[in-house]
Structure 1
Amino acid sequence: MIHRTCHDAGTRFPPKSPSQALRMLGALALAAVLAGPVFTHAASAAQPTVPPPSVRERPAMPSWLADFVGEQSTALSAWPGRQVGQLREFYAAADFEPRWTGEGGLTDRGRALMATLAQSEEHGLSPDALGVPALQAMVERADPAARPQLELALTGALMRYAGWLLGVEREDGAPRHPVFVLAQDQLDPRELARLIDTGDMRQLVATLSPAHSQYQRLLAARRVYKERVAQQAASPKIPAGATIRAGYNDPRVPAIRARMAAMGHDVATTGDANHYDPKLRQAVMQFQAANRLQPDGSVGRAVLAAMNAGPADRLVQIDATLERWRRMPRDLGARHVLVNVPAYTMSVMEGDRASMQMKVVVGTRARQTPTFSSRLATVEINPTWSVPARLAAEDILPAIRRNPNYLEEHNIRVLAVVDGRVRQINSAEIDWEQHGGRNMPFRFRQDPGAGNSLGKVKMMLPNDEAIYLHDTPKRSLFQRTARAYSSGCIRLEKPDLFANLLLTEGAGWSQDQIDGAFAQRGTRAVPLRDSMNVHIAYLTAWVEDDGKLTFHDDIYSQDDRVVQMIQARRALPAPPSPERMRTASARD
């Protein structure tokens, strides 16, 4: 079980919307968008008074469609009810006309859609999960009586593909990317109508896909790694084991030497093949630096994982990162904050470029930093720290039992509710051996000061995990390459620099005001009138501006699960055949 316990118990910010403001496109709206205006050109000067499809009178639903999606039909009972509703609205908006098929089989638009569905693999998605093999078989059979089934199956596949690209269709139970405070994304129906009406399916896919430069760069990188997977045989994995350090002898050293030699390093030796010599250590240090690992020359778990990662492993990271981009808001904000958890970085982004960047410390594997989007709300100067109950039980209470002076040494007060009011309790009068678990009537609060766990400043942002960004007195952690040490919150390498930016531009403060506030001992919360969106993301593949593709260690072991979720998707059942429809009708 994962526990995040860095937040203040008394400073939880609920989302402003009644439910988490996830990026969603209503099923009926999507259906109307995809079907309604598509086959009727947008209003022009020549036709200024044509009412929209939702207003003008439409013909009755023909039997070919009513048999499947009519209110009384159970023909598609194996489909999600939402999907049947989408089909009904789709064809109602299109005056119940077939969109992809004609008397002779597929129309040009239908063939374009088939090709588009088959190319979904370019986005790391599964054509099989869209039913492409079954659709191809239906086309090849060319059965005129099965035209309604082919028509509806194509539309169902398009609906699913559009939902996956938009990141709003997650019927498989995939984790969401919560969005707090920010406005929900919307789809431009006129643009979709124009694209489908012209039959430009590739442009339609581009419109549905994230326009973020990283997504587009990763698509190009994916094509390269897909070719590498096809061309290169998988290299033998270097076995796991104890960390190999300078001067060690280990039977895995020849394999490490061969791997470094294959990467172009001169690591030849005339000595003991199993000896980890200085030349090989130097090559390993260069490899570590290139892969953003601690360049200490030791070969441990993370280094072996990077050495063993072949094109297929890297393709998993690319596909997982593409999926995460699809789940994020389309509009990140012209200026926004991006925290990339596995990269241990926070960047202030101006469009696609970082105007400020710093190292961060993120949650441990047991107390992982969650991903979500929100907006900076408050800067708190000289904060107090209200210790969360779980952290009090797991960390503070054992420390008190080991050291009776722990609370005093760390400026932590003990609080309790007495006669309906919160009062400070003399910790010396408490028998700490009698308390713990559910029997914990006390709360702990750390005073502001040099030793405060939140440092000199914290930045609050609404979210239901009570995660925030803050300073830390443990500055030495920023010298490490792997920085997963927090209880879920994000510790900043340069909090004063970031706070200055927020207070000057978000609160209109002068530098003298900022310096004066930090010089005082008291806590001060400063609301931000003009702030920035914050996106906490988990992106293990990143393409730099120069085209270099960087991979980050999957510190929470999430990539495989994301890709397995994509691969586990299954196609919608094919609509029943004419024979089955007739049999069911006769039985009724």
Structure 2
Amino acid sequence: MQLRSVLKKTFIYGMSMALLAPSFSHAADSVAGTEQAIQLSRYLYNADFDTARAPIKPSWGNFQIVPEHLRPLYVKVQYQPFWVTSDGRPNELAASLRTLLLGAARHGLNPGMYWDATMENGYNSNNRASWVTFEMLASEALIRYATHLTTGRFDPNLIDDDIMFKRKKLNIDRLLSAIQSGAGNFINSIEQMAPTHPRYRDLMYMTAQLYDQKAAGGWETITSPGVQLKLGVKNPVIVKLRKRLNQMGYYVSDAGGQLFDQEFDAALRQFQAMNGLTADGVIGVKSEVLRALNVSIDQRIQDVALNMEKLRWLPENLNYNRNIFVNLATSEFRMTDQGQLKFYFKTINGQSFRRTPTMKDSLSSIVINPNWTVPESIAYKDKLPKLRADSRYLDKHNMVLMNKSLSQVIDASSINWRSVDEAEMNRYWIVQNPGYDNALGVVKFQLSNGDAIYMHDTNERNLFTESERHLSSGCVRLEKPLEVASYILQDIGISYEDLVSMVPSRVDDVRRTKETKRGFTPWEVYFMYLTAERGDNGQMRFINDGYGQDSRMARTLQNSVEEQGLTPKANERMGVIQVLGKAGEYQVFKKVKAVRCDTTTRGSCDAAVSFDLNVQTQLPEGNYLLSFENSMYPGFVQVRANAPVVVQLQTVATIQPVKASNGKYASSTYIVYRDFTSQIEQQKLLWEMFYMKRHMNRLEKDNYGALYLADAWSQDFVQRFNFDACSKLNTFAEPSSQAKEICSTWNNARSPNDLYPLFFDAKTGNLKEMWVTAPGDVLSFEHPRHLISAPIKGAGTVQAFEGAYKTLQTSK
């Protein structure tokens, strides 16, 4: 259905009846005296409660308009429209907005999330009475785009449990300033809101290159020649390899043709070194080089987009002229001072199961000749097996056993290590004394986090020659620690020569005294996991996703719209179902969703069907799970021919307006949500996970801060939580014992209740979802509340299927 044919009748007039019935007074918000401003304010502002109106979702579109998002922008201009002329036509600024949003791909964003057919139809509509619809849609799209551009599409610490960045907030004043800059300056003003980090600009350049190459025909697949390629060999495939290396910025002339000559060897070794491969100048029959070169150009575009997303997590006030930046994916250290690169060398970072966190931190103290207190997890997993094998292990490695208060040394030989379990092991600390062979080396860069993550020297200095250097237990080991330490400590008068004289060496491993140095200007430190970069000479770099962070992000950011519609099979009998009830004003979607499942086979469910309340709907015979506004019916509903089914919603919350002493209504906000500590709500979730093997609804949390139904423009939060990895667990190098246990529970479940340990805390009953992910470990997230309505402003009712629900006042 075309937008122009429904806007006026369905949206404008329909909303007027529903939304404009309350008072039109504007006691709190200041409204300009134009008719357009007055009309726009009526859709966005509820004068009775001095708050934003309820969300709007037209029946003809899978999107919603959230006045609470728009009101802060419009109240600053007294509700004057931005995007239309006085006679309701899209203006020049709207044309600039269209150009901006259709070009979102240059920032690794999907233009369809901001300017789709609905927006295009509204822009081209000849129905001038529909201006208010287009006005609000345009502002919603811009706010969504600006939020994604500046803060990211998702709260980063909900992607991975070792990402420590918090999502930033959109600067609404800066956005308004960009709008008010005029059509000629608008696009540039919004562009200036994008991250300014040099690496982000590099990735924008790479994105443009990749799209240009895709438009020119893309990348040809390079088939293995079946023989090893190395210096001196001639083979036709080398011509294709030269072309691909040039496409990726590793420039080599075509003059050598099929010959593997010195120039090609140098370019290949550079490609290998910069992409995390063994730089041996050899392409084997089953080569990691060919695997890396044959990744599709579409996948590389996505890889770059994921890394642009990560760079949006960095703070706006990042000091580009003075910082320490560690790329955890490439295992590289960069130190910049006064805008100049001072150090660039190798690091050793956390293993895939002991990942170094992605985070911002600060460095304000350096420990010379540190001792090392072994973390409990390492003591149990690494040191206990060695003590069981050799009770003198600690003595041989300059270590002592101490009590938990670190006040007493304990004789390690007096303990029967074979009988020690994890609980008893945690009664002790293992401490390694200072020395050249201390695990932290001779210098430690103390960071401010509380997780014992820091940078340091190492006693395994030979490992810096490895191409794959994810080898530590979480901290970052530096290839040139003394050089960096002395550069920092020159602030307080300590030179490189001074520092060398203070620490032991291989030939002079005399025990030294631990010293902590402070007083220098603190340094910002950033640990980022970037698998795509642009080299200094324009080379494209792509690193294998050993941490699995990219794959988790890709799953999080995928936003597929759920398949809808159930086609009856041949000769299948039909039944009738009707759900009776009345949706509350703040229940946005107002649709019943039904999913038919074969209850004899796990994971055998059909596509969903949606239908209206109070309407008799024909469905094929079967057992159905039902959902309404994120509430679920407690069990299966049997639809049978000649036996109509009627289900009644229940009123589960009624919020009454409260008058203050001044006679005005209080603008309180309430949320109504599912109580997952109750058995009935727990059972509902277990049914959908057992029979559907996924959550029944697409849910998002950006609009309301808790989980509620997602529209086509919202980022789905929960569909990434699945157990697909359990089907390929044996392909992971080292799946954790917890991952194996979880997959065993998932794969061997014979009833919904068997899945209880995967979703609920045994002590509290709280919903806490665990899922297995590459590279074979487990992530665990405690879910936000599951709303069955948008937050209620002032007053309203909520209807839902039978269940257990709670109402909470969130503001007064």
Deviation at 1:433, TM superposition (A): 1.1
Question: Alignment partner for residue 406 of structure 1, among 393, 402, 405?
Answer: 393
1:84 aligns with one of 57, 63, 67? 67
Q: 1:504 and 2:490 equivalent?
A: yes
Per the alignment, residue 150 of structure 2 pairs with: 166
Instruction: Flag the 1:426–1:560 CA change in 2: closer, same or farther, 3 A.
Output: closer
**Distance in 2 (alpha carbons) for counterparts of 1:56 and 1:559:** 45
Question: Which of 517, 530, 533 is residue 524 of structure 2 equivalent to?
Answer: 533
Q: Spell out the pairing of 1:168-317 with structure 2 (5 A cutoff).
A: 170=154, 173-174=158-159, 178=164, 189=173, 193=177, 196-199=180-183, 200-233=185-218, 235-236=220-221, 259-260=240-241, 286-292=267-273, 293-296=277-280, 297=282, 299=284, 302-317=288-303
* Corresponding residue for residue 123 of structure 1: 107
Q: Equivalent of 1:449, from 435, 442, 455?
A: 435
SS at match of 1:96: coil
1:302–1:484 CA distance, 2 compared to 1 (3 A): farther
TM-score by length of 1: 0.75
2:139 is aligned with what amino acid?
T
Please give the secondary structure, in 2, of the residue aligned with 1:211.
coil
Matched, 1:484 2:467: no
User: Do the aligned residues in 1 keep the contact of 2:229 with 2:283 (CA within 8 Å)?
Assistant: yes
Structure 1: which amino acid aligns with 2:272? N
The Cα of 1:286 is off from its aligned counterpart by 4.8
After TM superposition, give the deviation of residue 202 of structure 1 in Å: 1.7
Does structure 1 residue 369 correspond to structure 2 residue 395?
Answer: no
Distance in 2 between the 1:415 and 1:82 partners? 61
Please tell me the residue identity of whatever aligns with 2:546. Answer: I
Unpaired runs of 5+ residues, structure 1, are 1-54, 248-252, 270-278, 576-588
1:415–1:444 Cα contact (<8 Å) kept: yes
TM-score by length of 2: 0.55
Q: How does 1:419-568 map to 2 (within 5 A)?
A: 422-440=407-425, 441-505=427-491, 507-510=492-495, 514-518=499-503, 521-568=512-559
Note the C-alpha offset of 1:68. Answer: 4.3
Contact 1:467 / 1:488 at 8 angstroms: preserved in 2? yes
Out of 317-326 and 258-267, give the one that drifted further: 258-267
SS at match of 1:550: strand
- Tell me the distance in 2 between the aligned counterparts of 1:308 and 1:120: 27
SS state at 2:503 partner = helix
Kindly indicate whether residue 365 of structure 2 is the aligned counterpart of residue 382 of structure 1.
no
State the AA in 2 paired with 1:141: S
Three-state SS of the structure 1 residue aligned to 2:329 is helix
Distance 1:351 1:83 in 2: 45
Q: Is the 8 A contact 1:131 1:572 kept in 2?
A: no
CA distance in 1, matches of 2:193, 2:455: 32
What root-mean-square deviation, in Å, do the aligned CA atoms of Structure 1 and Structure 2 show? 3.9
Tell me the distance in 2 between the aligned counterparts of 1:132 and 1:477.
51
Displacement after TM superposition at 1:353 (Å): 4.2
1:345 aligns with 2:332: yes
**Alpha-carbon distance between aligned partners in 2 of 1:475 and 1:574, rounded to the nearest angstrom:** 50
Q: Which moved more, 1:346-355 or 1:327-336?
A: 346-355
Q: Distance in 2 between matches of 1:555 and 1:365?
A: 6
Partner of 2:607: none
CA 1:302–1:73: 2 relative to 1, 3 Å:
same
Q: Describe the SS at the equivalent of 2:345.
A: strand
Letter in 1 for 2:412: S
Q: How big is each residue's C-alpha offset from its partner over 1:94-127, in whole Å with a ceiling of 9 and x where there is no partner?
A: 1011111232421111121122111111111011
Change (3 A) 1:573 1:378: same
Does 1:135 find its partner at 2:119?
yes
Residue 92 of structure 1 aligns with an amino acid whose one-letter code is V
* Contact 1:302/1:553 (8 A) holds in 2: no
Partner of 2:379: 392
The Cα offsets for residues 333-375 of structure 1, whole Å up to 9 and x where unpaired, read as 1211111122221011246642211111111222222211122
* CA distance, structure 2, for counterparts of residue 294 and residue 89 of structure 1: 54
Q: Distance in 1 between matches of 2:261 and 2:383?
A: 45
Q: Distance in 2 between matches of 1:463 and 1:198?
A: 44
Return the structure number with greater strand share. 2
Residue 475 of structure 1 aligns with an amino acid whose one-letter code is R
Higher mean C-alpha displacement, 340-349 vs 165-174: 165-174
- For 1:452, give the aligned amino acid: N
Query: Alpha carbons of 1:377 and 1:134: their partners in 2 closer, same or farther (altered >3 Å)?
Result: same
Superposition deviation, residue 452 in structure 1: 0.7
C-alpha contact 2:387 2:393 (8 A) present in aligned 1: yes
The residue correspondences of 1:26-105 to structure 2 (distance < 5 A) are 62-70=38-46, 71=51, 73-76=53-56, 84-102=67-85, 103-105=87-89
CA 1:459–1:540: 2 relative to 1, 3 Å:
same
In structure 2, do the counterparts of structure 1 residues 108 and 281 end up closer, same or farther at CA, with 3 Å as the change threshold?
A: closer
Are the equivalent residues in 1 in contact too, given 2:147–2:170 (CA < 8 A)?
no
Match of 1:36 in 2: none
Contact 1:114 1:132 in 2 (8 A): no
Select between 150-159 and 299-308 the one with higher mean Cα deviation. 299-308
Could you say which structure has the higher helix fraction? 1
- Matching residue of 1:51: none
Is the CA contact (8 Å cut-off) linking 2:199 and 2:534 kept in structure 1?
yes
Aligned length: 502
Deviates more, 1:389-398 or 1:301-310: 301-310
Q: How does 1:320-339 map to 2 (within 5 A)?
A: 320-333=306-319, 334-339=321-326
**Which structure is higher in RCO with an 8 Å CA cutoff and minimum separation 6?**
1
Distance (Å, rounded) in 2 between the aligned partners of 1:94 and 1:185 = 21
Match of 1:275 in 2: none
Which amino acid in structure 2 is aligned with residue 524 of structure 1? E
Q: Deviations over 1:357-397 (max 9, x none)?
A: 11111112222222111221210111111111111111111
Counterparts of 2:346 and 2:122, CA distance in 1: 55
The offset of 1:140, in angstroms, is 2.5
Q: CA 1:254–1:556 in structure 2 vs 1: closer, same or farther (change >3 Å)?
A: farther
Is contact 2:486–2:495 with CA below 8 Å preserved after alignment? no
Contact in 2 for aligned 1:502/1:531 (Cα 8 Å): no
| Deviation digits for residues 116-144 of structure 1 (CA, Å, limit 9, x no counterpart) | 11111111101111243211122233333
For residues 501 and 539 of structure 1, what CA distance do their matches in structure 2 show? 26
Change (3 A) 1:218 1:574: closer
Q: Distance in 1 between matches of 2:152 and 2:243?
A: 43
* Partner SS for 1:439: helix
Q: How many angstroms apart in 2 are the aligned matches of 1:449 and 1:410?
A: 10
Aligned residue identity for 2:105: E
Q: Which amino acid aligns with 2:80?
A: E
1:445 alignment partner AA = V
| 1:564 CA displacement | 4.8
Amino acid at match of 1:290: F
Equivalent pair of 2:65/2:140 in contact (CA under 8 Å): no
Change (3 A) 1:134 1:186: closer
Moved more, 205-214 or 448-457: 205-214
Alignment-mate amino acid for residue 56 of structure 2? L
Alignment-mate amino acid for residue 448 of structure 1: P
SS of 2:453 mapped into structure 1: coil
Contact 1:126/1:566, CA 8 A, preserved across alignment: no
Q: Structure 2: any 5+ residue segments left out of the alignment?
A: 1-27, 245-253, 505-510, 562-709, 715-812
